[in-house]
Amino acid sequence: MSTGHQTLKLGVLGSGSGSNMQAILDAIGNGTLDAEIVLVLSDNPEAYILKRAEMAGIATEVIDCDGYVTRFPDDSQVAVGQMLRDAGVDLVCLAGFMRIVKAPLLEMFPERLLNIHPSLLPAYPGLRAWGQAVSDGANESGCTVHYVDAGMDTGPIILQSSVPVLAGDSAETLHARIQLEEHQLYPAAIRKVWAKLQSES
């Protein structure tokens, strides 16, 4: 993994529709992010993120989690890390990836694993953060891009963007507005992290 002045190579891990991966692709396409997604991995063989990647001509692989529904076994993480390394990935972006990353992958990509979460962390970690915000009667929500550590949405924050919770908001309407912000924030955070890595190289 070099950090010289060249096009950034991204690997993406996702479990769902891949809308944030699409936002990264769109930023690359419109020239606001000098990067290339070289590999997309999913633990769900039916995930639409794989179809999006295939339509864009990006290599894909399904992650074998040894039959576990929620765990991310160490041997699976090592295999994922090797696939990412073999593809020449500089930064790994989690985009709706529903398993907690632990030591094997974190050690293979130190300070090079990013995640996006639909709340203003540390508020509302975990699942359905937008629903938690509405249920709590919060005035504000938003999204956060952070470095991945071994906890659940606990890594150092890179960038955040706030979204007001409006009177009459449902979980779904709030989530839709947060997603619009996510799609702007993730490419900006990737640019920020890559510039930092290049300045340190």
Tens digit of pLDDT at every position of the chain (201 positions):
444 458 999 999 999 999 999 999 999 999 999 999 999 999 999 999 999 999 999 999 999 999 999 899 999 999 999 999 999 999 999 999 999 999 999 999 999 999 999 999 999 999 899 999 999 999 999 999 999 999 999 999 999 999 999 999 999 999 999 999 999 999 999 999 999 999 987
Total count of domains within the chain: 1
Q: Is 146 a catalytic residue?
A: no
In a domain, 136, yes or no: yes
Whether residue 2 lies inside any domain: the answer is no
Marked catalytic residue, from 117, 146, 175, 183: 117
Q: Which domain holds residue 140?
A: 8-200
* pLDDT tens sequence across 35-70: 999 999 999 999 999 999 999 999 999 999 999 998
Q: What Å distances lie between residue 121 and 43, 153, 155, 171, 200, CA to CA?
A: 25, 8, 10, 17, 27
**What three-state secondary structure class fits 152?**
coil
Q: Which two three-digit tokens encode residue 12?
A: 């993406």
In a domain, 1, yes or no: no
Q: Is 42 in contact with 49 (CB distance < 8 Å)?
A: yes
Sign of the alpha-carbon torsion through 135, 141, 145, 150: negative
Task: Give the CA-trace dihedral at 20, 24, 29, 33, to 10 degrees.
Answer: 160
CATH of the domain at 75: 3.40.50.170
Residue 3 lies in a domain: no
Q: Is 193 a domain residue?
A: yes
∠ CA 27-31-37, nearest 5°, is: 55
112: in domain: yes
Q: What is the model's pTM?
A: 0.93
Place of tokens 């974190």: 106
Question: Do 124 and 156 contact (CB within 8 A), yes or no?
Answer: no
For residue 80, is it within any domain? yes
Angle between helix 19-29 and 48-55 (nearest 10)? 20
